[in-house]
A and B are shown apart, each in its own frame.
Chain A
Amino acid sequence: MDITVLFLAIMGTIGLVFAYLAVTERALVKAIIYSAVQSMAFAVMLYLLRAPDIVLVYIPVSVGLYPAALFFLVGKTESEEGEP
């Protein structure tokens, strides 16, 4: 068994779990942090898939710029989701 494929499967499962947690979370600050953890798992998967150019774009954009802009938005507007 190749060790790359084993780590791909582990990181894929972590990404799926945190994506589900991010979508069904009512407090928006926690949802943004869950989405950032899911992006970190995806960044490790991108490195294992032998794509170094994409990793250099993906890490600052998806762990740095998206959560920063979303935190600005949550700070200026509401920070709790309403009733379903």
Chain B
Amino acid sequence: MNNELLNNVLLTYVFYVLVATIGISLYGVIFKPHLTKKIISITIFSDSINLLAIFIGYKLYSIPPELKGMSNINEVLNRTVDPLPQALVLTAIVIGLAVTLFLIFISLQLFRLHGTLDLRKIKELRE
């Protein structure tokens, strides 16, 4: 069946694209010495990990998990997506936001004390 094969190929392609984005952002976190670039890469990393978690709970030809206006609960039960990863990702987004805001403030304080945000120059200054 051509239809089903094409759907499976496209979904697998989306999955590999997400994993590639995770890899690129990990490269940015580890190998770029400027602190602002590291913070940008951390935001991309947490976004793509949250998207991967919701992508695992997806189902073809489905409806969002809502009960308003649906009179038959069996139809909702058979065709809904998984609501549990959405609840966990909601928590994860808020916690990531709070920790990243704190990181931004700490790097601002680092700039006031050392005059630069390049980690190699800070390492030379402290020796």
Contact = CB atoms under 8 A, between A and B. Distances in A.
On whether A and B touch (CB less than 8 Å), the answer reads yes
Given A58-B93, A77-B111, A8 B101 contact: no
Interface residues of B, number: 56
Interface string B30-53: 001110110111011001101100
Contact of A70 (B33, B63, B104): B104
A1 B3 contact: yes
A29 B10 CA distance: 34
A82 B28 CA distance: 15
Contacts, number: 139
Given A15-B48, A35-B43, A52-B66, 10 more contacts: A15-B17, A31-B40, A50-B58, A54-B89, A62-B43, A73-B108, A78-B36, A78-B111, A81-B36, A81-B37
14 contacts: A2-B7, A2-B60, A5-B14, A8-B14, A15-B48, A22-B44, A23-B25, A31-B37, A42-B47, A42-B48, A52-B64, A57-B93, A77-B107, A82-B121
Interface of B: 3, 6-7, 10-11, 13-14, 17-18, 20-21, 24-25, 27-28, 32-34, 36-37, 39-41, 43-44, 47-48, 50-51, 54-55, 58, 60-66, 81, 86, 89-90, 93-94, 97, 100-101, 104, 107-108, 111, 116-118, 121
